[in-house]
């Protein structure tokens, strides 16, 4: 990795590591919520909801999120970035490459889609409250991956950025 990126990752990880021990349960919970099986199940539920309601846009959005996951996995295999050498990573049951963070990517795409739908269908102030809560969840999931030692900060930032781009493209597809 480039020395600037290495220094950036080290300095940002140091800041996150100074969070109090009291936040560890929150970080473990956020990481659990952001795991791919839950995020993919949520995307499938959105699609099934679309089928039940006869809403093609929801079905298309669900399929779009699943396709985006394939893109994220492809990038992981192209970049081949190893994860940090931490106890947390050593204890992981499933091992994959580090860049970009699948948790950050998936939660941005799928939970971001839920925020978009909430903003479209809920009245004020509920759409604002729901959207804010989802954004906080997405950010917390990303921070949890650095806090727990599963990712470098740049992995998470890349996941958020690629997830945001994917979400933008999905929404653009729904509303050309």
What is the tens place of the pLDDT at every residue in 105-154?
A: 999 999 999 999 999 888 889 999 999 999 999 999 999 999 999 999 99
- For residue 7, being part of any structural domain is answered with no
Domain count, the chain: 1
Structural domain span for residue 69: 24-174
CA distances from 46 to 89, 121, 125, 155, 169 (A): 31, 14, 23, 27, 17
Question: For residue 21, with 0-12 CB atoms within 10 Å meaning exposed, 13-18 middle and 19 or more buried, which class applies?
Answer: exposed
Q: Which residues are catalytic?
A: 103, 151
* Global pTM value: 0.90
Q: What share of the chain is helix, strand, coil (3-state, %, to 5)?
A: 80, 0, 20
Nearest to 26 by CA among 154, 155, 112, 139: 139
- For residue 4, being part of any structural domain is answered with no
């Amino acid at each position: 990795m480039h020395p600037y990126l290495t220094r950036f990752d080290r300095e940002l990880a140091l800041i996150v590591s100074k969070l109090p021990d009291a936040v560890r349960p929150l970080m473990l919970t956020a990481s659990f919520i952001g795991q791919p099986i839950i995020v993919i199940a949520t995307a499938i539920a959105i699609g099934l909801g679309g089928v039940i309601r006869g809403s093609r846009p929801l079905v298309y959005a669900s399929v779009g999120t699943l396709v985006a996951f394939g893109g994220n996995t492809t990038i992981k295999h192209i970049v081949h970035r190893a994860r940090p050498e931490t106890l947390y990573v050593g204890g992981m049951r499933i091992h994959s490459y580090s860049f970009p963070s699948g948790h950050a990517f998936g939660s941005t795409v799928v939970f971001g889609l839920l925020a978009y739908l909430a903003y479209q269908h809920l009245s004020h102030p509920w759409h604002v409250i729901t959207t804010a809560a989802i954004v906080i969840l997405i950010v917390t999931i990303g921070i949890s991956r650095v806090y727990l030692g599963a990712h470098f900060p740049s992995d998470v930032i890349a996941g958020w950025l690629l997830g945001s781009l994917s979400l933008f493209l999905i929404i653009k597809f729904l509303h050309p």
